[in-house]
């Protein structure tokens, strides 16, 4: 890849990342760890799908709720209260 191609691809990636951030996609990494979402974006993406809740090694955000769609893993993090609220929002989106 030439320097110019690298700069152009980086510019396009930055623009797309900004657009996704405005839609609630907080970030993603190249290692395949998943796509972190805001609570609202996660609930919208996960509607009518089975979600998995797992523990994390942190006191501030001890839980993660996730859903796999194809080869993508979307997730949100929070406290027990926050995760329960997200689960309710997912259920609400599935029926609404």
How large is the C-alpha radius of gyration of the chain?
A: 16
Mean pLDDT, rounded, of the chain:
92
pLDDT at 48: 81
Average pLDDT over residues 62-79: 95
Q: Is 76 helix (H, G, I), strand (E, B) or coil?
A: strand
**Measured between alpha carbons, how far is 67 from 36 in angstroms, rounded to an integer?**
11
- Residue 96, pLDDT score: 61
pLDDT tens per residue, range 39-48: 999 999 999 8
Residue range 1-27, pLDDT digits in tens: 999 999 999 999 999 999 999 999 999
pLDDT average, residue stretch 61-89: 95
Structure tokens at 17: 């990342």
């Amino acid at each position: 890849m030439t320097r110019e191609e690298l700069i152009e691809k980086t510019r396009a990636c930055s623009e797309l990342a900004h657009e996704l951030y405005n839609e609630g996609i907080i970030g993603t990494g190249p290692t395949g760890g998943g796509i972190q979402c805001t609570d609202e974006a996660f609930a919208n993406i996960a509607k009518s799908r089975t979600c998995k809740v797992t523990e994390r090694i942190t006191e501030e955000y001890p839980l993660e709720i996730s859903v796999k769609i194809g080869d993508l893993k979307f997730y949100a993090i929070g406290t027990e209260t926050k995760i329960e609220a997200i689960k309710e929002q997912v259920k609400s989106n599935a029926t609404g």
